[in-house]
Amino acid sequence: MNIDEKGFNQDFQFEAPMAPKRTRLQEFWLLFRQNRLAILGLFIFILFFCCAIMGLFITSGPDPLFDPAMIRLQEKLRPPLAKPNLDSLRREEIPCLGFYLMGTDDLGRDVFARMLQGAWVSLTVGFVAVGISVLIGIFMGGVAGYFGQHHIRVDHILMTILLISGAGLVMAHSIRFGAVLLCLTLAYIFYSFFTQNRSGEKSVPSWAKVFRKSAVSVDTLIMRIVDIMLCFPSFFLILTVVALLPASIYNIMIVIGLTSWMGTTRFVRAEFLSLREQDFVAAVKTLGASNFRIIFRHMMPNAIAPVLVSATIGIATAILTEAGLSFLGFGVPPPHATWGNILSDGKNFIFDAPWLTFIPGIAILIVVLSFNLFGEGLRDVLNPKLRERH
C-alpha cells in the first residue's frame, strides 16, 4: 500500500466538525451563568442602581415625593411600617405611602426617604472614586509598562522640582519668588525644545553634560511613587485629608480615588510588560502602527480584564470607606443623608430603635456583598488559569 494512491477524498472535501463558533461575549456569558452567586450579585447590583437613580429623582427637587429632610418631631422613632398619627401632622407632612416603610429617626424624618437619598451618595461615591483611581492607575501603569525603559534626564527632574516649588510658592503667597522660578522653568523648557529640534549641531559644554545624563527610568520612577503611596495607612490618610478639607461629598470621592490607584497601576504595568513581549505586538509594530494605536487597539483590551475585576471590588471598598467616614462624622454635611450617617445617628438609640442601625447596616452589607460577589465571579471567568478548577 502506498501513500500516493488516492481514494475518494482526493481534495479533502470532508469537513471536520468544528466546535460551535461563539463570540467572546457568549463564551463569557456561558461561563458566568454557572456562578450562581455572581448572578445574584449582578441582579442586586442592577436593583441597587435603579433604586439609587430613582431615589435621586424622587427625593430631590423643590417639592420631592419623599422628603428626606422633613422633620416631624411629634413622630420621632416610629418603628418600620408604622401608621403616622394623622391628627398631629400637617397635610404636606404625611408620608406619601401612607405609612413609614422603614420607620422614622430621632427627628421624625422618614428613614425610607433618607435611605433612598443615601443610595445615590453610595453609588456616586463608589463609581466616581473608582473611576478616578482606575484612570490614574491605567495611565501610570500603562506608561510604566509601555514606556518604562525610557529614561528621565537630570535636567527634567530639576525642572520638575523647580516647577512644583514655583507653583507651591505662588500658592503659599510668596508670589514674586515663585513667579521667577516659573519663568525660569518655562524658559528652560523652550530652550530644550529649541535645541532638540536642531540636535547635534552644536555640542553642549562639558559641564552641562551632567544635566543630560539619564537619572532614572520612567518605570522605576513610577514604581517608587507607588511604593511611597503604599507607605501611608490608607484609611488614616483619607481621614486626615478629609478632615482638613471642607466637608463635601466630592472631596471624599476625589480623596478616595487619589489614594487607591496603586493596585490598578501594578496590574496594568504587569500586563503591559508581558504583552509587550508577545509576538502579536511585535508584529503590529513592524507593520508600522503608532504607539497610540498599539496601546489602545491591541494592548488595552487584554489588560482591561483584571482592571475590571479590581474596579468592581474597588467600588465595594469605596462604599465601605465612605460609610466609615460618614460614621465618624466626616464628609457629607449633615442634612444630607448617607447610609453611614443614618447609622451613626441611629447608634445612640440602638436599644430603643434598632432599625436605625440595622436598616442602613444591612443595606450597606447587601450592596457591598453584591459588588464583591460579582467581582469575584468576573475574576473567575476572566482568568483562564482558574477556569478548570471550579
- Name the residues that contact other proteins, by CB under 8 A: 1, 3, 5-10, 12, 14-20, 30-31, 34, 37, 168, 171-172, 174, 224, 227-228, 230-233, 235-237, 239-241, 243-246, 316, 320, 323-324, 327-328, 340, 343-344, 347, 350-351, 354, 357, 360-362, 364-365, 368-369, 371-373, 376, 386, 388-390
Smallest distance from other proteins to CB 18, Å: 7
Nearer to other proteins, 3 or 287 (CB): 3
How many C-beta atoms lie closer than 10 Å to residue 103's C-beta? Answer: 23
Nearer to other proteins, 65 or 369 (CB): 369
Nearer to other proteins, 281 or 373 (CB): 373
Smallest distance from other proteins to CB 190, Å: 28
* Cα–Cα distance, 259 to 146 (Å, whole number): 23
Q: In degrees rounded to 5, what are phi and psi of residue 82?
A: -75, 145
Smallest distance from other proteins to CB 111, Å: 15
End-to-end Cα distance, the chain: 49
Smallest distance from other proteins to CB 187, Å: 24
Nearer to other proteins, 15 or 92 (CB): 15
Smallest distance from other proteins to CB 286, Å: 28
Nearer to other proteins, 30 or 50 (CB): 30
Smallest distance from other proteins to CB 181, Å: 14
Nearer to other proteins, 108 or 340 (CB): 340
Nearer to other proteins, 231 or 287 (CB): 231
Smallest distance from other proteins to CB 364, Å: 5
**51 touches 119 (CB < 8 A):** yes
Comparing CA positions, the residue from 73, 67, 237, 218 lying closest to residue 149 is 218
* Cα–Cα distance, 376 to 366 (Å, whole number): 15
How many C-beta atoms lie closer than 10 Å to residue 384's C-beta? Answer: 9
Burial category of 285 from C-beta neighbours within 10 Å (exposed 0-12, middle 13-18, buried 19 and up): middle
**370 touches 356 (CB < 8 A):** no
* Cα–Cα distance, 192 to 210 (Å, whole number): 15
Comparing CA positions, the residue from 81, 72, 78, 80 lying closest to residue 107 is 72
